[in-house]
Amino acid sequence: MIWVGLTGGVASGKSTLSQFFREAGAYIIDADEIAHEVIRKTGLAYQPIVEIFGEKILDVSGEVDRKRLGEIVFADAGKRARLNLLVHPHVFDIAEARKREMLSRNKEAVIIFDAALLIETGVYREMDWVLLAYVDKETQVARLIKRDGLSKEEAERRIDIQMPLDEKAHLVDEIIDNRASPAVVEIKVKEIYQRLQEKARVAR
């Protein structure tokens, strides 16, 4: 088994890489999906979040309105940090449990933990290999404007609250340039996956 971290930044194309790896045969654990689970009504972080941020973040069904909550934490670094403290420990615990379950089924598994804040939380140090979905800031801005309909200023603000990808690049094992065409990137992903498979077999 090999435990691989896949990280990036907003609009860096990390989800596309994750899908390519899944199609190649890797097991994927998506931190964002788990985070969505833990803030639902039935989730471990739901009640603490409501207690701290108030019922104004809930929709008509009583679920957390992620867009509304996102607007609050994007505008306030302190509140963003408090939210992360409520959510991240549960995300990492669940990811670890899922990794163990996948390993029990396949001792040679390539398991990829898709997590935007892998570097910031320090969890990257626990990985066997770390990959970075990389694009330059100009590409991030252009993609955010197109994808989310943001102004240039709003897009830059969203990017600037995150750790720059150029800084993350110094802390990972391998960089995937995601500015290329999807076809070229998919070929690169398949080549990386084959190498990871070999590492997984050796590590068994």
Per-residue pLDDT tens digits for 135-186: 999 999 999 999 999 899 999 999 999 999 999 999 999 999 999 999 999 9
Q: What's the pLDDT at 186?
A: 97
Quick one: pLDDT at residue 75? Answer: 87
Burial class of residue 149 (count of CB atoms within 10 Å of its CB; 0-12, 13-18, 19+) = exposed
pLDDT in tens, 42-54: 999 999 999 999 9
pLDDT of residue 137: 96
2-203, superfamily in CATH? P-loop containing nucleotide triphosphate hydrolases (3.40.50.300)
| Per-residue pLDDT at 45 | 97
User: What is the pTM for the complete model shown?
Assistant: 0.94
% of the chain exceeding 90 in pLDDT: 95
CA pair distance 134, 172, nearest whole angstrom: 11
Cα–Cα nearest to 113, from 98, 204, 90, 200 = 98
| Domain residue spans of the chain | 2-203
Q: What gap in Å lies between CA 175 and CA 7, rounded to an integer?
A: 10
